[in-house]
Structure 1
Amino acid sequence: MSAGHDGCGSGGCGCGGHAAPAAPASVNGINLLAEGERLAEDALRERAWSELLRQEAARQGLLPPHGDDEAPVLSAGDQQVIQAMLERLVPVPPPTDEECRRYYDSHQSRYVQGAQVHARHILFAVTPAVDVHKLVVRAEQALLDLSGKDVPASRFAELARELSNCPTGAQGGDLGWFGPHECADELANEFFHQKNPLRGIGLRPRLVHSRYGFHIVEVLGRRQGRQASFDEVRDRIAVELSQQSRARALHQYMQLLAGRATVLGVELAAADSPLVQ
């Protein structure tokens, strides 16, 4: 952030994932890991979804059968075949003008052009090994510390350097200026998209929860934008609604495939395929 940091939800800091144990993992008897191989949990799930789709394409005669007991790496041609299969099996009708207008009327704050905030944060990252209750208590204690009377402005930066799990902690947690498309959706919703978003300057009075953990956030500045008209953003809304519809349809289809398969060593029941995200 200045333009974003991955891992902490702000765009490119690289707070990484965590390697899954090298336990047996397979889809319908096809091993997902080579001997001794380890993958982060998300990467293992992605490989499982890819193998599930490859097997379905092979079942339909679109790809040749696989003679090995280890999942193959999909070629660009294989991926194109699978994508074409999904386009055929999971069609998505385009949204109507009425649906686009209704969405615009309900989400006008999403179409303010040029809006930016300058913020800093302290990330308390949620990882597989962390005690979330204790983590929240630590975060709440730090927020209480910062919320007290006569707290010096330098205190936030001190705590960021001491406590933050984001590399920006070394810079006092400063994220720079960013817009709604340069941060995690949860933060964008907090700063830009709510009906009563955080318009003022100062410390957010509660923790902000994102997929990466819990954030203490302070807004240092705000640049107001211009409300775009419906006609200006109609095509963009149509794309967004189509993507949402396709994500829902793909989720249902992928869960159907997972429900029919014998999947060991990786949890797919409540997870989305990368295609859906």
Structure 2
Amino acid sequence: MAFRHGITAAAMALTLALAGPGNAENHLAADTVVATVNGTDITLGHMIVLKQRLPAQYQQLPADVLFEGILDQLVQQTLLGESVDELSLGSRIVLENESRSLRAAEEIQRITDSAISEDAVQKAYDAAYANAEPETEYNASHILVATEEEAQALIDELAGGADFATLAQEKSTGPSGPNGGQLGWFGPGAMVAPFEEAVVAMEVGTVSVPVQTQFGWHVIRLNETRLKDAPALDAVRGELSEALRREAIESRVVELTEGASIDRVEAGSIDPNVLNDISIVIE
């Protein structure tokens, strides 16, 4: 899309008429006619919708330049389109797909608007968190080595008074070694099963026996535990809204599918590579 950067007097006058203080008196609406080409009206609605689909770099142009450029494009498209008596097969199919997509999008929006009410979000929050038990989180450190013998030797050194962080920095092969083996806070499911099971069974301040995982052998020290309260509603609002939206759409699709008559080709009856054959939609 190419815009001229000069503004004609007529275009500027139209811009000012549409954008000026008299908007309320002019009763601007989607069907406000901004140009007529050989009897075909171009409306303000056409311009607004076209603007929404422009690439980002055009969206940043000054309003007056953008207004004239969009109007120019619609006028030129109307003139060029008058020369075509009938759309090609490919273009007709594009229109059918666009219509199908837009209709589906409007139904999805209707479903979403109905499903994601404040009351529905609150009920989803209560169902997920109101009766949930506080979750225990753990703060632990570990030293990772290749063999059980190495792990046991480290445990013996710790029992003799060695510093855990220093041993981790010197001996651990894991990425937390340089940080003294500190893993920070984590909740259930964050660690592989054998490691988590060992941590859950430990008392704060104690060191584990050698624990084997697919990464090697661990010596674990449990530093602290804490109870994690349920998150505030606003912290999970987006997550809950998306779940409500997804469930409502899936439910509607199931409902429509069960009440529809659908015949479709059997899987494998058409070579899927045919989708690459553009000649099929060229007349």
TM-score range, shorter chain: 0.3 to 0.5
Report which of the two has the higher share of helix: 2
TM-score (normalizing by structure 2) = 0.32
Could you say which structure has the larger radius of gyration?
2
TM-score (normalizing by structure 1) = 0.33
